[in-house]
Amino acid sequence: MPIQPQREGETAAAVTTGAPGREAARGGSIAAVARRAGVSVATVSRVLNGHANVRPATRERVLAEIETSGYRVNELARNLRTAESRLLLTMVPDFGNPFYAEIVRGIDSVARQHGYFMLLCDTGADAGRERSYFDLLRRHRADGAICLDPATVQHANQQASRDGSAAADGQNAALPWVACCEFDPAMGVPYVGIDNFGAARDAVRHLISRGRRRIGLINSDDHYLYAQQRRDGYLAALAESGIEAHEAWRVNVNSLDYDAGAQGAEQLMQRRRGSSAPVPDAIFAVSDTLAVGVVNGLRATGWAVPDDVAVVGFDDIALAAQIDPPLTTIAQPMRELGETAARLLLRRLADPQASVAGVLLPHRLVVRQSG
């Protein structure tokens, strides 16, 4: 249920502040926030509940005033009134992958602004763990969930196909969750991500523009949609340049960690060694963690980057700019992905019957020394 706006004459008993002395200095009621932001109490309430019908400039002004004043909703008082948990789950497949860190920060930032707590859930791509977290939603122990695990999205998609839990007309599926990064628009679940096909095509086009013609691919398990889309973008870039796509120059690995990238590079470069056929002169890896492993694996087997083999990654994690040589990569707007996912979920919670559209955010090519 939406947050009930505090009436002008109410005391501060229904609110708390972020710092003890700031209530007196600024005033912590929702009415005071509205007055200083120059909007109505109803507008502040809509911002707090994630409603879409607020102008972006107005939303930012209200959020800035909330942050400045230290306004916080009293969780106990509201939970008793609404029976809400004020808890959002964020399901991540691997805490060790740095790609997820900035996304999680974005989710947590928006959740806190709107009076929610975030619980970080390690799924480990395990179907049993996934079911247990979704059960928290079914039992109303959590209000909603954001899923960053491609395996979970795939399992949910398969389950929806079997039991019809997703609406046949493409509207939102029954449980209040949002898919982030890995998504299938046909599921009827709100999503946020990037154009994986276009981003991969841009990465390979860049390598081609640098004169590379023998371009290998190190991909994840291609039953995931993002892996299929990045593979198809790779193939499209080769085809439009008239470059033959060699099956022998494509390797799939079963994880996105550094070791998998190193092993993939070794497998790719040794496959034709000893024959007259050339080896790749460039490698596109579908994540930066794989690409960092590729650089290390190439170096360990005597190949120089980028002189012998150029390398391009995907994500632009912090480590990408720190390795030697710094990694050319596709940058995903990780913080914005998390913030957008949280806002989509809050919008859905505010109006469970509303159709919440998916969002594609822009990517960009970051050119460094590796390729």
- What CATH number does residue 42 fall under? 1.10.260.40
351 or 45, higher pLDDT = 351
Residue 68 and residue 148 share a domain: no
| 296 and 253 in a common domain | yes
pTM tops 0.85: no
Is there a single domain that holds both residue 99 and residue 180? Answer: yes
Going by pLDDT thresholds of 50, 70 and 90, the confidence category of residue 275 is low
pLDDT of residue 96: 85
The residues facing 250 across adjacent strands are: 217
pLDDT at 195: 97
196 residue type, one letter: N
Q: Is residue 126 part of a domain?
A: yes
Regarding whether 200 and 190 lie in a shared domain, the answer is no
* Position 371 in a domain: no
Side-chain half-sphere exposure of 205, counting CA atoms within 13 A: 15
Residue 273: pLDDT above 80?
A: no
Do residues 137 and 67 share a domain? no
Give the residue from 79, 108, 133 where a domain finishes: 79
Three-state DSSP state, 20: coil
Contact yes or no for 71/33 (Cβ under 8 A): yes
Contact at 8 Å (CB) between 226 and 196?
Answer: yes
What CATH number has the domain bearing residue 134? Answer: 3.40.50.2300
Host H or E run for residue 329: strand 328-331
Q: What is the pLDDT of residues 123-170, one digit of tens each?
A: 887 778 888 888 898 888 999 999 998 887 777 665 654 544 443 333
211-223 pLDDT tens trace = 999 999 999 988 8
**One domain for residues 303 and 178:** no
Split into its structural domains, the chain has a count of 3
Using CA atoms, how far residue 118 sits from 91, 238, 283, in Å, is 10, 43, 38
Structural domain ending residue among the three candidates 79, 114, 133: 79
What pLDDT is stored for residue 125 in this prediction? 76
Of 273 and 33, which is predicted with more confidence? 33
> Which one is predicted more confidently, 41 or 51?
41
Do 70 and 51 sit in the same domain of this protein?
A: yes
Is residue 238's pLDDT more than 90?
yes
Tens of pLDDT, residues 283-341: 999 999 999 999 999 999 999 999 999 999 999 999 999 999 999 999 999 999 999 99
Same domain, 222 and 316: yes
Range of the domain at 44: 12-79
